[in-house]
Every structure is written in structure tokens, then in C-alpha cells.
Structure 1
Amino acid sequence: MHHSRLCTVVIDCKVDDLKDAATFWSRALNKRIATVDQDGDGRYAELVTEADEPIILLQRVEHESRVHLDIETDNLDAEVERLEQLGATRIAFVRDRWWVMQAPSGHRFCVVRPQREKFGPHLNRWE
């Protein structure tokens, strides 16, 4: 048995600096900016969300701008296998921490470990 849930809406931004993108999305979504440089490398910015809302993360990317979803799980291997059984394919294991996957529709998404201290509400339970 394992659990999973939607945890993050990731706004992929093909920009040199995330500050302007973070300012735009902060104003558009009425969310304060938590940080414009989450890891100190200029790759991630985050908006403030409540514990029962998905995280809103901006990511500086080389590919065209788009939005993707992250699914968090307490068992990475089991969740990836479950999604493969539904027709998803593995694309890449990144930094030995998360899987980039592709849905049958062509949409990319990530399967990640729990992102908040409390795994939280809205969990799906898989046998």
C-alpha cells in the first residue's frame, strides 16, 4: 500500500531571471512570493500557499514555457509503477530524487517524494 496526491503546480518559465515571472504570477493569483531563489541557483521561485493547497512553484527552464503537475508519494517506485500501468512512460530520473513521466496524452509531469512536512489531506490510498 502507498499514498499519493497532487502536490505542486509547476510553472515552467523560459526566462533568464524568475523575478519578473514570480511578480506576475504573484499578482495574477493573489499569492505572496515566498522566495525568488529557493535553492540559491536561480532555478526555482515559490509563491506562498496554504497547507491544504497545492504548492505553486516557478521553474527556470530551457524548453518552451508551459505548466506541469507534480504528484507526491510516500513510495516513489510503487507510484511510478501504478502510473505506468495506466499508460504513462518514464522519461528521466532527475538528481536521484524524482521521475519525469509522460502521460499517454503527451503531457509531462513529475512524481516526487512528499514535499511538505505533513503529507496532508486529500490523499489517495493505493493497494
Structure 2
Amino acid sequence: MHHSRLCAIVIDCHVDELAPVVDFWSRALGKPIASIDQDGDGKYAELQTAADEPIILLQKVDHASRVHLDIETDDLDAEVARLEQLGARRIAFVRGRWWVLEAPSGHRFCVVQRQREVFGPHLNHWD
């Protein structure tokens, strides 16, 4: 048995500098900025959300701006296999840490390891 849940809404930003768009999305969504530069490389920022809300990340990207979802799990291989059985296909294994998948609709999304210390609420249980 493994578990998964919607973890994050990721706003992919095709911009030269992430900070101005972080400010925009913070004000637009009414969420304070939790981190303007999560990893110190200028590629990731996070808005503050409650424990029972999805994380809101902003990511500087080289492709067109879009929004994608992250699904977190306690068993990466089992969750990717489950999603493949539903029709998703693997696109890339990134940094040896997460999978980018593509849904039958063409939407890209990521499957990541558990992101928050508390792994609930809204947790799905899979056999």
C-alpha cells in the first residue's frame, strides 16, 4: 500500500527574473511570500499556505509559462506505476528526485517525494 495527494500548484514562469512575478502572485492570491529564493539559485520561490492547502511554488523555466500540479507520495515507484496504468507516460526523471509525467490530455505534472512533515490531510490510500 502507498499514499499520495495533491501537493503543489507550480506556476512556471518564463522570465529573466523571478522576484517581480513572485510579488505579483503573492498580491494576486493574497498569500505572503514564504521564500523569494528557495534554493539560492533564483529558480524557485514559495508562497505561504496553510498545512491543509497545496503548496504554491513559482519556478523559473526555459519553456512557455504555464501552471502544473505536483503529486506527492511515500512510494515514488508505486505512484508512477499507478499513474502509468491510468494512461500517463514518463517524460523525465529530474535530479534523481522526481518524475515529470504527461497525462493522456497532454498536461505535464510531477510526482515527488513527500514534501511536508505531516503527510495529511486529504491523503489517498492505494493498494
**TM-score tier after normalising by the smaller chain length:** over 0.9
Q: In the alignment, does 2:85 pair up with 1:49? A: no
Shift of 1:36: 1.1
How far is the alpha carbon of 1:123 from its aligned partner?
Answer: 0.4
Alpha-carbon offset, residue 25 of structure 1: 0.4
| 1:47-126 superposed matches below 5 A | 47-126=47-126
* Deviation, structure 1 residue 33: 0.4
The whole-number CA distance in structure 2 between the counterparts of 1:120 and 1:20 is: 32
| TM-score, length-scaled by structure 2 | 0.99
- TM-score, reference length from structure 1: 0.99
Q: Deviations over 1:40-91 (max 9, x none)?
A: 0000000000000000000000000000000000000000000000000000
SS of the equivalent of 2:79 reads: helix
Query: What SS class does the counterpart of residue 78 from structure 2 fall into?
Result: helix
Equivalent in the alignment of 1:4: 4
Q: Percent identity?
A: 76
Segments of 4+ moved more than 2 angstroms: none
Tell me the CA shift for residue 94 of structure 1: 0.3
Unaligned stretches of 5+ in structure 2? Answer: none
Q: Distance in 2 between matches of 1:120 and 1:32?
A: 22
Aligned-partner Cα distance in 2 for 1:76–1:9: 18
Aligned-pair distance for 1:35? Answer: 1.2
Please give the alpha-carbon distance, in whole angstroms, between the structure 2 residues aligned to 1:90 and 1:21.
30
Aligned to 1:50, the other structure's residue is in SS state: coil
